[in-house]
A = this chain, B = another copy of it.
Amino acid sequence: MTPFLHKTDGDASMREGEVALASDPADLPGDAHVIFIGHVHSPWTNRDDCPKNMNRARERDGGDALVEIDTEFRPGLAGLEAASHVIILTWLNLTPRNLIVQKPRHAPHPKGVFSIRSPARPNPVGLHIARLVALNHAAGRLTLDAIDVLDGTPVIDVKPYYASIDSFPDAVTERHGK
């Protein structure tokens, strides 16, 4: 253990083996600030029911999977209709920011937060890659094939997805011998 950490196994909100940062990022002065540019509309209204990743969201016939961009930012959508897929960055503001080592429910051992896609992160930025089904510029509305966050989740960025730089079909997360 380094002096920067304390174990908090005794904390009822943490699972065995989890480790918290000594200083909660939520309480630190920020190095920079984000502004919310819009919000997600999704069928998911409670965390237990919310799909844990985009493929789980696709498997469920949930209804709306929309991003609505606020009025002043809508001119920024010009040209996005040419993209088949988009990257949505969200701000997952309901999660703790101090869990540097976490014990996912179905994992045998605790894992570092940067080795998993947990929404509980020092900077809780969610990354979601979706098919862009429709785009209504006037309404600032992107219709997606699915979305895996709660209704009302703030959006901080939208980017076009480029297969040439973003697609690595052979990437693995269980490298031999690791």
Q: Which residues of A contact B (CB under 8 A)?
A: 2, 4-5, 19, 21-23, 25, 28-37, 53-55, 69, 71-73, 75-85, 87, 89, 91, 93, 100-101, 110-117, 121-123, 125, 127, 129, 131, 154, 156-175, 178
B79 touches A112 (CB 8 A): yes
The residues of B that contact A172 with a CB separation of less than 8 Å are: 83-84, 163
Identical copies in the complex: 2
B75 touches A157 (CB 8 A): no
Q: How far is the CA of A35 from the CA of B100 in the complex (A)?
A: 14
The residues of B that contact A81 with a CB separation of less than 8 Å are: 175, 178
Q: How far is the CA of A113 from the CA of B79 in the complex (A)?
A: 9
The residues of B that contact A131 with a CB separation of less than 8 Å are: 168
The residues of B that contact A116 with a CB separation of less than 8 Å are: 79, 160
19 contacts between A and B (CB under 8 A): A21-B73, A30-B32, A30-B33, A31-B33, A31-B154, A32-B91, A32-B154, A37-B122, A73-B114, A76-B101, A76-B122, A78-B111, A82-B178, A89-B123, A127-B159, A161-B173, A163-B169, A167-B167, A167-B168
Q: Contacting A31 at CB < 8 Å: which of B29, B35, B162, B166? A: B35
How close is A172's CB to chain B, nearest CB, in angstroms? 5
The residues of B that contact A160 with a CB separation of less than 8 Å are: 114-117, 173
A78 touches B101 (CB 8 A): yes
